[in-house]
Amino acid sequence: MIRFFNLLLVIFFSFFVKANALIEVDITRGNLNPLPIAVSPLSLDSKSNQELQKIFKKKNIGAEISSVVENNLKTSGLFNPLNKDAFLQKPDIAHLKPRFEDWALIKAQALITGKVKFQDEKLRVEFRLWDVLAGKEMMALAFTTVPTNWRRIGHIITDKVYERLTGEKGYFDTRIIYVAENGPKTKRIKKLAIMDQDGFNTKYLTLGNELVLTPRFNPTNQMVTYLSYFRNLPRVYLLDIETGVQEVVGDFPGMTFAPRFSPDGKKIIMSFAIDGNSDIYTMDLENRIVERITNHPSIDTSPSFSPDGKYICFNSDRSGYQQIYVMKNDGSNVKRISFGKGLYGTPVWSPRGDLIAFTKLHKGKFYIGVMRKDGSGERLLTENYYQEAPSWSPNGRVLIFYRETKSDSEGKGFSAKLWSIDLTGYNERLVITESDASDPSWSSLLSN
Amino acid sequence: MNLSKYFKGAFLVMLASLVLSACATKKVGNQIQGDVYTGTDTVEYLASGVPDRVFFATNESVLTTASRDTLRKQAEWLRKNSKINIVLEGHADERGTREYNLALGERRANAAKDYLMTYGISGSRISVISYGKERPVDSGSNPLAWSKNRRSVTVKAN
């Protein structure tokens, strides 16, 4: 099958210059004041370019990599990449020694320069981040990889720049797994699909012969757990992305659904429905031991572990309506945490551990929101006709979810799309997909 | 799914205003009672006089009087045709989270199964599957369409 995780990444040199008065980006305040940044096209010598053109059919791979970086920075909402037409310095010279006055003139506060070389059948990329006002280098790194990984180089550069300037890990060298949708509402065809975080390199993992729902990555991004209606038996499955091998999780005499991995990747937590009652179970993937976690005549579903694995948040209608509950990982100490007006579903624990994202339904509108793990500090980030199922970026700063539009009686006007929004409630964006899409799940960082 | 009591209020207000004004939408009122579909647009028949489906209120899996009537007819037909096995397909409308709706569909189909069993149909002849909100019969985004989609459909398995 598709081999995704074969990046040979070597960091050659890495030194951070600690200096005073360097630029910082505050990521807690939304995108009110994005940092003006100049992303100079990575310079490329003509011999390397000739050879690389044979591989890619791209005019200039250096410029292509820098536009990956530029697009990432722009989508983050925290940066304002400046128009290249205004750049005065040539890429190769800027990379050696930027003339800071030139960059200050176009109001750049930070500058990214770099160089690409093709050597021993590999792509060697180096880049530097400069503080324009202080006139100092902030970071210099180099990578070597197979040429087909060129987009990942762009994502890794963005992660390094983001981390250097915000003080937090990035989320750009990541993938999204989701359900690609086609066809009329009454006979929707659904396939598992995987793509880079920026919407490129889409691959389909199933053919659409059976209904598939709610895919989720394991912590190392090599496995996916999801619901499949294979042979009309809705069951939780496990798929190895590299080998394509699939298996049913456990041997349940009824529907299993709403799967997620435990943070250590060793267990799958899910719901099992029988005789009109859904409860939460775990299955250990090594010894196949199944444990029942909840035992209640209500619907208990959408379980999600805390990042330390000690707690589980889930959705139950035991109060009469869907609400969010938290319990210990053995099912004890069940506590309701959602008390606002309306119904609450799809709780999912932030990778930082402090917040739980959720879907809320109130007066015919759907909201994506967050609350603290004790239920306090509820904050609604976005309101719409229909949206649900948030998934966190690995740094806990962005949520991706899906949104459906209203249709008329013939089903016209219906669409399902992926959207992202910052935890601040700012920077709401459509995530471009090849087809309609739903049930997104964000991977962890592919390289650290 | 699940907006029932929240929605019911709004719906009653809507109905009240309908009574006062329009005729065009009065038809809708005739096809929904207290949020449950009572029309026959989508209904198919297992045999003459034996409707194949029952409908539910938002977020509910309680069988209405009409639903119990339909299921008694199905039970009678199943008793006469003892070689036929059935699948009960439970569904929810599109106004709920996907995972909860899967559970709700399963609960609805089982409500129908339990009723058939109390009328003497062996559980071994009945299997249950939930489609949640994945297979609506009406693709509209309006209360009437949603009411048609909140259903349990009895399908011959052999």
Structure tokens of B157? 């398995």
In terms of Cα–Cα distance, which of A209, A310, A318, A214 is closest to A260? A214
| Same-domain check for residues A31 and A72 | yes
Question: What pLDDT score does B28 carry?
Answer: 56
Last residue of a domain, one of A102, A133, A166: A166
| Same-domain check for residues A55 and A148 | yes
Backbone angles phi, psi at A243, to 5 degrees: -95, -20
Q: Is A253 on the interface with B (CB under 8 A)?
A: no
| Same-domain check for residues A375 and A407 | yes
ipTM value of the model?
0.92
In chain B, residues with a C-beta closer than 8 Å to the C-beta of A342 are: 6
pLDDT in tens, B52-76: 999 999 999 999 999 999 999 999 9
Distance CA A288, CA A253 (A): 16
Number of domains in chain A: 2
- DSSP string of B88-124, one letter each residue: EEEE--SSS-HHHHHHHHHHHHHHHHHHHHHTT--GG
| Same-domain check for residues A190 and A84 | no
| Same-domain check for residues A160 and A184 | no
Distance CA B54, CA B90 (A): 10
Where residue A404 sits, what CATH number does that domain have? 2.120.10.30
Q: Which of residues 260-319 of A touch B (CB under 8 A)?
A: 271, 273, 275-278, 299, 301-302, 315, 317
Q: Which of residues 329-388 of A touch B (CB under 8 A)?
A: 342-343, 345-346, 359, 361-364, 385-386, 388
pLDDT in tens, A38-73: 999 999 999 999 999 888 888 899 999 999 999 999
Residue of B nearest to A280 (CA): B103
> B16 is in which domain, residue-wise?
4-156
Average predicted confidence (pLDDT) for chain B: 87
Q: Measured between CB atoms, which of A185, A302, A438 is closest to B99?
A: A302
Number of domains in chain B: 1
Phi-psi region of A8 (alpha: psi -120 to 50; beta: other; left: phi over 0): beta
Structure tokens of B11? 């719906």
> A104 is in which domain, residue-wise?
14-166
| Same-domain check for residues A199 and A88 | no
Write down the pTM of the prediction: 0.91
Binned at pLDDT 50, 70 and 90, residue A22 comes out as: low
| Same-domain check for residues A322 and A409 | yes
Contact A188 B145 (CB under 8 A): no
Does residue A143 lie within any of the structural domains? yes
